Amino acid sequence: MIRVMYFARLRDQLGSPGEQIEAPPATLGALVDQLAARGDDWAEAFSGSVLMAVNQEMADRDTPLAEGDEVAFFPPVTGG
């Protein structure tokens, strides 16, 4: 099981702050593809510029996933 979090505009688009996924795929890229296949809203949300983190470190499609990981998806940051 992994924990998945959605932040800011992405959370609003998906209508969800996050979820738990029981049997995640092996890589972050495969997880993105799986989420984007859920429907139009999901496909659209993941078609834009989406940043990804695994265990609070920036990650990319090749990053492997392991049991217990904390995965986050969010739009480009706008702090400061």
Q: What residue ranges bind other proteins (CB under 8 A)?
A: 5, 7-9, 12, 49, 53, 56-58, 72, 74-80
Q: Closer CB to other proteins, residue 12 or residue 37?
A: 12
Smallest separation (angstroms) from other proteins to the CB of 15: 15
* DSSP codes, 12-24: HHHT-SEEEESS-
* Separation CA 12–CA 67 (nearest Å): 27
Q: How far is the CB of 4 from other proteins (least distance, A)?
A: 13
Burial degree of 1 (CB within 10 A; 0-12, 13-18, 19+): exposed
Give whichever of 23 and 49 is closer to other proteins, judged by the CB atom.
49
Nearer to other proteins, 30 or 53 (CB): 53
How many other C-beta atoms lie within 10 A of the C-beta of residue 79? 3
